[in-house]
Amino acid sequence: MNDHGHRAYALGPPAGGGGTLPARHAHCPMCGQPGHGASACDACGAPLTPPPALGEPSEAFAGRRGSPRVGRVESAAWQPAQRQGGGASMQVRMRDISFTGLSLEAVLAVPEGQVARVRAPNIDCVVDVVACRREGQHWRIHARLVTMRLLTRAGAFVSQHA
């Protein structure tokens, strides 16, 4: 079980050999502790499995992004990495997600290059901020997925319904 009361599922390689799973991180991107090949850090619980490498995606399927973007409007918790000095935790609003990154809306700006853990009901991930821009009264954060753990079988990226 995860922090949200859901079962956590390990990510398996895509059916048909469309991608591979990279090796887990040797050290936790959040706290720097050795990972020892585990799926989550023993010290802080952050996921250690990188997102799947999708190989050569179809242009018609994914476009130039390399991975399709899925709209996800839901609340999530933002926790900056302790190994970078920490910082203020805050609630953010997830806007969309793909296997390469995600977009969030926040009330505070965050610096590019900041590593943080994002926890939502369907995903627990560690991200690296690539951009943060003001949009009205909020900040739009664009981040690259470093590690991830899907917390439900369907719904985060794929639906079981056609």
Tell me which amino acid residue 12 is.
G
- For position 47, which CATH number holds? 2.40.10.220
What's the pLDDT tens digit per position in 73-95?
A: 789 999 999 888 888 899 999 99
Q: Looking at the domain assignment, is residue 11 inside a domain?
A: no
Residue 1 forms part of a structural domain: no
Q: 0.75 cut: is pTM over it?
A: no
Over residues 85-133, the pLDDT tens digits come to 888 899 999 999 888 899 999 999 999 999 999 999 989 999 999 999 9
Split into its structural domains, the chain has a count of: 1
**135 belongs to a structural domain:** yes
The answer to whether residue 12 is domain-embedded is no
Q: Is residue 140 part of a domain?
A: yes
Q: How much is the mean pLDDT over the chain?
A: 77
In whole angstroms, give the CA distance from residue 126 to residue 15. Answer: 25
Domain of residue 24, residue span: 19-150
Residue at 68 is within a domain: yes
